[in-house]
Amino acid sequence: MASSPGGSTLTPAEVRMELHAQNRGKLVRCLRQRLAESSRPVHGFVLLQGGEEQNRYCTDHAELFRQESYFAYLFGVREPGFYGAIDISSGKSILFAPRLPEEYAVWMGKIKPLAYYKEYYMVDIVFYTDEIVEVLQNHCENPGKPLLFLLYGLNTDSGNHSKPAMIKEMEKFDTDLDVLHPVLTECRVLKSEMEIGLMQYANDISSEAHVEVMRKARVGMKEYQLESVFLHHVYMYGGCRHCSYTCVCATGENSAVLHYGHAAAPNDKTLIDGDMALFDMGAEYHFYGADITCSFPVNGIFSADQLLVYNAVLKAHDNVISCMKPGDSWIDMHKLAERTILESLKEGGLIQGDVDDMMVGRLGAVFMPHGLGHLIGIDTHDPGGYPKGLERPKEPGLKSLRTTRTLQEGLVITVEPGCYFIDALLVPAMEDPDKSKHFNCREISRFRGFGGVRIESNVLVTAEGCRNLTNCPRKTWEIEAVMAGAPWPPPPPATLSQNGGYR
């Protein structure tokens, strides 16, 4: 059956700026509480600086601007060069727009009046950025210098720090660099209904694009052609101008290269009969992203070896999702995935011995060196994985976890178990007697060059358990049917024709 005539069943989701007004309201409540708890006066301004447009090296080529994520969370502003402030005592929000030169109207389009931004972004007042000092001083009702809460803190995924807002005449203000970052980061961890709505949409359009990629995959194509199918689908039908990250379109051996797709490995291999494909791609819609991985045989039919590895990973993915609920430790979920994969590899004859022993010896990290999953939201690796007091584990595999948090209702996290045959890990493991005693070396050697499998979904933790926002064919027979032209999502059972492609 052909895909739907329009190419998609989706239309771009409605973007509502109330979402950001709610985010600001949440921050104000949390900040007031935090200040009251430490017996500090509940006043001052949150001041954030939005992102600036960047040119390519020395040229005048402006890179497509994407707003800084904390600023996007609070204000939803898509243009560069803004500042935003929130008065903690009144809860009022102020945007500061750049004063654009008259020339702007010639080259870039009409200059919007401040009233436009006030209405569009649903803030209380708008001024120009060259008025910040004066406005904040005038709006301060307390004696002495106004207090500014600036954003400064560590991103535990990148190791970089967020840059506090810079204004001239900072000496006219008192500043606090400690309070805002942990409180605002914590606000971003638990998603609101409206945020979940956008993430569901990003997942819907990305899931559909993954299905389109599976359908179009043919032996002899280039990996980048399938990348282009994905990009076209999410932009053409989904209005997604940005992706959450650089597409990983890996086939054959490349599917064991975890961050394949970068400039030195630009998705340019030819698809060979018998290759496994691992495609990790996600679209972003109004700042909120999806992060989805599908693995499938490029020729449309799983071989026995591919079935073994794929089903090991799928069982881990499904086990975790059927277990996840508030109160669970993410480390335990990671270990559950590892154990599931090791048990399957043992059943398949690749490894041998006691699985408990393997767990103690951290054998799972040889096949899955990355963490089970990460928080996701406005950033693909959303911040807040390691709040103060939560230590990063040191053991192989576990140290790669981007969070070790206890699951809470409202948190959205990726579940992305994988099983890879990576020479850089297999060779040293073969030489380590504690690990190699578990290897069936002949079988393991046979799998060198296989690549790897990852299955990644975005999962919302609910009061009862969790909800998978991703909807891609996952069972091997579903993938084979979709690649042979069957519809996705499958029609309800009653309407299935006898030769509908599903069995």
- The residues that touch Mn ion, with contacts defined as CB under 5 A, are 291, 414
Copy the structure tokens of residue 171.
């000496």
Sign of the C-alpha dihedral computed for residues 339, 340, 345 and 348 taken in this order: positive
Residue 28: CB atoms within 10 A of its CB come to 21
Return the SS3 of 297. strand
| Dihedral Cα 454, 460, 465, 468, nearest 10 deg | -50
Q: Tell me the two tokens of residue 67.
A: 């707003």
Tell me the closest approach of the beta carbon of residue 412 to Mn ion, in angstroms: 12
Least Å from the CB of residue 416 to Mn ion: 5
Question: Closer CB to Mn ion, residue 87 or residue 456?
Answer: 456
Q: Residue 389 is inside which H or E element, if any?
A: none
Q: Which two tokens stand for residue 380?
A: 């693909």
Segment (H or E) for 24: helix 18-37
The DSSP element (H or E) to which 204 belongs, if any, is: helix 193-216
Q: How far is the CB of 421 from Mn ion (least distance, A)?
A: 20
> With respect to Mn ion, which residue has the nearer C-beta, 33 or 158?
158
- Element containing residue 293 per DSSP (H, E): strand 292-297
Q: Closest separation between CB of residue 402 and Mn ion, Å?
A: 9
Residue nearest to Mn ion (CB): 291
Short-list 197, 150, 201, CA closest to 174: 150
Smallest distance, Å, CB 456 to Mn ion?
5
Nearest Cα residue to 132 out of 92, 96, 105: 96
Nearer to Mn ion, 351 or 412 (CB): 412
**Least distance in angstroms from the C-beta of 309 to Mn ion:** 19
Nearer to Mn ion, 291 or 338 (CB): 291
95 or 413: whose CB is closer to Mn ion? Answer: 413
CB of 374 to Mn ion, least distance (A): 6
Q: Within a 13 Å sphere around the CA of 101, how many CA atoms are in the beta-carbon half?
A: 4
- Nearest alpha-carbon partner for 46 in 194, 186, 147, 152: 147
- If the CB atoms of residues 203 and 225 are measured against Mn ion, the closer one turns out to be 203
* Closer residue to Mn ion (CB): 340 or 414: 414
